[in-house]
Amino acid sequence: MNRERYFNYVKRKLIYLSENIKVSGKLNLLSQNIYCETFYCDLLNIVFDWKLKNLNTNINNYAAIDLIDHENNIVAQVSSQSNKQKIEDSLSKDIIKKYNSYTYYFICIVTANKKISTQDIKNPHKIKFDIDSNYIDVNKLLSIICKLDIDHLKNVYDLVTKELGNIDYKKISSDLAEIVSMIDVNIENSPTDLSILNEYQIDKKIVHNSLNDMKEFIHEKAEFYGYLNTIYRTYFEQGKNKERIVLSKVSSIYIKEKQKFNSSIDLYFKIFNEVEEYIKNSLNYNSEITEDNLELCIHIILVDAFIKCKIFESPEDYYYVNA
C-alpha cells in the first residue's frame, strides 16, 4: 500500500535526521539546527493544519520562541535538547509574557532518550502548556503522522522527499531496476504464453499457499513468463546471469517478511512494496516509466519468482525450472 511506503520513508528520514543532529551536537556543529526550524515549520503546518511562520527570519535567535501562528494562537520552540531544564528555561523567558494567551509547544527534533511527560514543569508565566499534549519529539510526531489521512501523509512524504531525499544513502544501480526497464521497453507488444499455466502446475501452488483470490491475477501475469525469460536469456548469452541476481533479491525480501504475515495475499503485496521501493531508490531507475507500467513489470517479476519457487511454499511434486 502507498500509505505504508510513504510512512516508512518518512520514518526512516526523520530518525536519520534526528541521529545526525545528535552526533553534530556532540561535535558542537549546530548549523543544521537552524535549517531544521524552517523544515519543521513546514512539516508541522502540514501535520496539524497550522499556519506557523519562522520568527527567526526577521529576528535572529528569538529567545524561547522560534515559530508563531497568530491565527491559531500558537507559539513553538524547535530544539535539539529534550531535558526538563531546557523546557523550563524557555518557559521562564520574559518574551513568554507577550504571548500569554497563546498555546506553547516545545518541539524536540531528536528522539528523546528519557520520558519527561511525568515530570512537573515550572511554568512561571502560566502560558498554556501541558507536557503530555504540547511536548512533541520525533517519536510522538511519527505516531501522529502514522494516523494521518492519505492526502496529508502524501504531503508529508513530498516535503520530506524534497528536504531529505538523498540524505541517508548513496544510490547505487540495481539489476532489478535494469530488468524493469527492459520489460517496459516492449511490454505492450510482448508475446504471451498461456501454456505455462499447465506446464508448471501453478494452480496447485496457488491453492497450497491460500492464494485462491489471486488466481486470475497470477494467471494474467504468468502469461509474460516467456517474455521475461527471453530478456534473461539475452543477458545470459552476454555472460550475465541477471536472472539469478534478480530472483535472489526477491527471495531475500520474501524470507525477511514471511514470518510477519498470516495472510499470503498481504505477504505478496508487502513483497511488492519492498521491491518497488528498492527499484525507485536505484540510481538507474527510469523515472519516465509510468506508475501503471512499473506496477505491471514488478508483478511480472514476482509471478515469475512464484513459478520458480523463489517465493512462497511449493506443494509436493511441484514441477518447476531451476533458475
Span 100-154, pLDDT tens digits: 899 999 999 987 656 666 568 899 999 999 988 999 999 999 999 999 999 999 9
- For the cut 70, the answer to whether the pLDDT of residue 198 exceeds it is no
Instruction: Reply yes or no on whether the pLDDT at 93 is more than 70.
Output: yes
Whether residue 202 lies inside any domain: the answer is yes
Q: 159 and 189, same structural domain? A: no
Asked whether residue 150 falls in the same domain as residue 18, the answer is: yes
Q: How many CB atoms lie within 10 A of CB 204?
A: 15
- Per-residue confidence (pLDDT) for residue 169, from 0 to 100: 41
> Does any domain span residue 187?
yes
Residue 318: inside a domain, yes or no? no
The total of structural domains in the chain comes to 2
Q: Identify the domain boundary among 134, 164, 194.
A: 164
Separation of alpha carbons 268 and 221, rounded Å: 14
Examine the pLDDT at 322 and tell me if it is beyond 50: no
Angle in degrees, CA 309, 314, 315, rounded to 5: 155
**Residues in the chain, overall count:** 323
- Residues 64, 123, single domain; the answer is yes
Question: pTM score, two decimals?
Answer: 0.53
Torsion of CA 63, 66, 67, 72, to 10 degrees: -30
CA distances from 59 to 51, 95, 141, 165 (A): 18, 13, 27, 29
Calculate the alpha carbon distances from 221 to 153, 156, 298 in Å: 31, 34, 10
Are residue 120 and residue 180 in the same domain, yes or no? no
Q: Looking at the structure, tell me whether residues 29 and 156 fall in a common domain.
A: yes
Give yes or no: residues 65 and 140 share one domain.
yes
- Residue 231: give the domain boundaries: 175-307
Res. 32: pLDDT tops 80: no
Domain shared by 179 and 114, yes or no: no
The verdict on 78 and 219 lying in the same domain is no
> Does residue 314 lie in a domain region?
no
Contact 155, 46 (CB under 8 A): yes
pLDDT, residue 119, reads: 66
What is the rounded radius of gyration, in angstroms, for the C-alpha atoms of the chain? 26
Asked if the structure places residue 147 within a domain, the reply is yes
Which three-class secondary structure state does DSSP give residue 195? coil
